[in-house]
């Protein structure tokens, strides 16, 4: 089965053709990073205009590189939520037009689910092995930070999420405070390699520091507003030397990533998750990948690190996930809406081993 995936939830216009849910025949991405860097973040209306300009050539290129045309495809998968509404509307309008003109089914994809599925694009056999369940998904990006438990029946639930900033947002805001540029994550990752992560003691939110216990309902939740404020106070009215800057960045990164690793490890222990998958744009961070590897080696759990090319927003994860919906007859109509927020219920993840099985 051939599925065209289209992604336009934020500032990447992407298209991919995926066969049978895992064989990526083409994957094309047009990034807007340079355009938005002057503003220190993504401007939704500006992103939408760029999607309008880029989506036709991106999809055309993806089809050409795959060696197939619309007639050969079995369906169109498009990110419908969550994301920036102006950006989503562009991708969805285009995808609906393709589906209507070609008579192909269309399916709206949860971008959050897409990131989780991206971890398994190159290793789909892991999802068929019952010994790997339950799976703990750690979704870390500019818009999301969450722990998701995926049982074998696919009825996933969120164990914890951020109460304020997402981890990627915390990195971007730190880079803005330090005048490092945008996006902040890759810059901080690079500078931190030459810094001393123990030089500055930044707070770690919702971990029970300072003798104040974490409320039970928030034991797997995250909060990064405190560490961001602490950074602001640490560098305010100071001129940092090059080494001081590296040390500040390394210490800040360690505080943010340390909470992610400790809470994921605790959640895996409590839920007896056998496999942890790290996904989302921040999963490209070399420090975070190394710390998760160390933690899983210590606890004897299997770790899946999403390949960097599938960590950031891409259409291969959308097309691959779309296959699982379409083969189960779960498609949408041309009146399918878009949504800015993650739904309260994640529904059934169709790629789990026993999803939709009686």
Give the tens place of pLDDT for each residue, 176-193. Answer: 999 999 999 999 999 999
User: Cα–Cα distance between 69 and 72 in angstroms, integer?
Assistant: 6
Q: What is the DSSP letter of 357?
A: -
Q: How confident is the model at residue 343 (pLDDT cuts 50, 70, 90)?
A: confident
Q: Are both 225 and 198 inside the same structural domain?
A: yes
Question: What is the reported pLDDT for 11?
Answer: 94
User: Cα–Cα distance between 110 and 87 in angstroms, integer?
Assistant: 15
User: Cα–Cα distance between 155 and 44 in angstroms, integer?
Assistant: 32
Q: Are both 251 and 320 inside the same structural domain?
A: no
Q: Are both 301 and 315 inside the same structural domain?
A: no
- The mean pLDDT of 309-330, rounded to a whole number, is 97
210: pLDDT strictly greater than 90: no
Exposed, middle or buried: residue 125 (CB in 10 Å: 0-12, 13-18, 19+)?
A: exposed
Q: Are both 279 and 323 inside the same structural domain?
A: no
Q: Are both 280 and 147 inside the same structural domain?
A: yes
Q: Are both 172 and 95 inside the same structural domain?
A: no
Q: Are both 106 and 24 inside the same structural domain?
A: yes
211: pLDDT strictly greater than 70: no
Q: Is there a domain that residue 341 lies in?
A: no
Q: Are both 161 and 205 inside the same structural domain?
A: yes
Q: Is there a domain that residue 301 lies in?
A: yes
Q: How confident is the model at residue 155 (pLDDT cuts 50, 70, 90)?
A: very high
**Chain-wide mean pLDDT for the chain?**
95
Per DSSP, the three-state class of 115 is: helix
Quick one: which of 147, 103, 176, 189 has its CA closest to 277? 147
Exposed, middle or buried: residue 165 (CB in 10 Å: 0-12, 13-18, 19+)?
A: buried
User: Could you write out the DSSP letters of every residue in 68-82?
Assistant: --GGG--EEEEEEES
212: pLDDT strictly greater than 90: no
Range name among 19-28, 42-51, 160-169, 336-345 with the lowest pLDDT average:
336-345
- Phi and psi at 282, nearest 5°, equal -70, -15
User: Cα–Cα distance between 298 and 311 in angstroms, integer?
Assistant: 25
Q: How confident is the model at residue 311 (pLDDT cuts 50, 70, 90)?
A: very high
Q: Is there a domain that residue 81 lies in?
A: yes
User: Cα–Cα distance between 114 and 80 in angstroms, integer?
Assistant: 11
358: pLDDT strictly greater than 70: no
Q: Is there a domain that residue 332 lies in?
A: no
Give the tens place of pLDDT for each residue, 225-284. Answer: 999 999 999 999 889 999 999 999 999 999 999 999 999 999 999 999 999 999 999 999
- The mean pLDDT of 68-75, rounded to a whole number, is 97
Question: What is the reported pLDDT for 241?
Answer: 96
- The mean pLDDT of 206-224, rounded to a whole number, is 88
Residue 218, number of CB atoms within 10 A of its CB: 13
User: Cα–Cα distance between 191 and 229 in angstroms, integer?
Assistant: 20
Q: Could you tell me the CATH number of the domain that includes residue 276? A: 3.30.420.40
Quick one: which of 147, 39, 127, 47 has its CA closest to 90? 47
Residue 171, number of CB atoms within 10 A of its CB: 30
Question: What is the reported pLDDT for 346?
Answer: 86
Give the tens place of pLDDT for each residue, 76-118. Answer: 999 999 999 999 999 999 999 999 999 999 999 999 999 999 9
User: Cα–Cα distance between 31 and 256 in angstroms, integer?
Assistant: 26
Question: What is the reported pLDDT for 2?
Answer: 98
Per DSSP, the three-state class of 26 is: strand
Question: What is the reported pLDDT for 208?
Answer: 82
User: Cα–Cα distance between 349 and 153 in angstroms, integer?
Assistant: 8
Residue with tokens 């393709």: 98
Q: Is there a domain that residue 128 lies in?
A: no
User: Cα–Cα distance between 159 and 109 in angstroms, integer?
Assistant: 21
Q: Is there a domain that residue 227 lies in?
A: yes
Q: Are both 288 and 317 inside the same structural domain?
A: no
Domain that holds residue 273: 133-306
Q: Are both 149 and 193 inside the same structural domain?
A: yes
Contacts of 268 (CB under 8 A, 6+ apart): 136, 276, 299, 301
Q: Is there a domain that residue 62 lies in?
A: yes
| Helix H or strand E encompassing 264 | helix 242-271
From 260, 275, 306, the end of a domain falls on 306
- The mean pLDDT of 138-163, rounded to a whole number, is 95
Into how many domains does the chain fold?
2
Q: Are both 222 and 202 inside the same structural domain?
A: yes
* Helices 184-192, 242-271: inter-axial angle, 10-degree rounding: 100
- The mean pLDDT of 320-325, rounded to a whole number, is 98
Q: Is there a domain that residue 343 lies in?
A: no
User: Could you write out the DSSP letters of every residue in 304-335?
Assistant: EEPPHHHHSS-SHHHHHHHHHHHHTT--B-TT
Q: Are both 112 and 240 inside the same structural domain?
A: no
């Amino acid at each position: 089965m051939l599925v065209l995936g289209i992604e336009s939830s934020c500032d990447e216009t992407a298209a991919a053709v995926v066969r049978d849910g895992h064989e990526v025949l083409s994957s094309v991405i047009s990034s807007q990073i340079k355009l938005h860097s002057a503003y220190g973040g993504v401007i939704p209306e500006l992103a939408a205009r760029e999607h309008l300009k880029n989506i036709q050539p991106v999809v055309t290129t993806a089809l050409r590189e795959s060696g197939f045309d619309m007639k050969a495809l079995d369906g169109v998968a498009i990110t419908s939520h969550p994301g920036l509404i102006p950006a989503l509307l562009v991708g969805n309008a285009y995808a609906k037009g393709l589906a209507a003109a070609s008579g192909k089914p269309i399916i709206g994809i949860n971008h959050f689910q897409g990131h989780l599925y991206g971890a398994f694009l190159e290793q789909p056999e892991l999802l068929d092995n019952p010994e790997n369940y339950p799976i703990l998904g750690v979704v870390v990006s500019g818009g999301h930070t969450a722990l998701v438990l995926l049982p074998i029946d696919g009825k996933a639930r969120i164990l914890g999420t951020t109460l304020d900033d997402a981890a990627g947002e915390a990195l971007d805001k730190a880079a803005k405070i330090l005048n490092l540029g945008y996006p902040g994550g890759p810059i901080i990752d690079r500078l931190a390699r030459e810094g001393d992560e123990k030089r500055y003691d930044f707070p770690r939110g919702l971990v029970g520091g300072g003798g104040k216990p974490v409320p039970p309902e928030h034991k797997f939740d995250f909060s990064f507003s405190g560490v961001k404020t602490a950074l602001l106070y640490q560098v305010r009215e100071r001129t940092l030397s090059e080494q001081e800057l590296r040390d500040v960045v390394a210490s800040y990164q360690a505080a943010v990533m340390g909470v992610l690793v400790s809470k994921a490890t605790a959640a895996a222990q409590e839920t007896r998750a056998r496999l942890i998958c790290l996904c989302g744009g921040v999963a490209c961070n070399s420090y975070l990948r190394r710390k998760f590897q160390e933690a899983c080696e210590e606890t004897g759990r299997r770790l899946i690190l999403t390949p960097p090319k599938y960590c950031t927003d891409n259409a291969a994860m959308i097309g691959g996930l779309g296959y699982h919906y379409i083969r189960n007859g779960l498609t949408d109509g041309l009146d399918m809406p878009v949504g800015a927020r993650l739904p309260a219920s994640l529904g059934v993840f169709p790629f789990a081993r026993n999803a939709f099985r009686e």
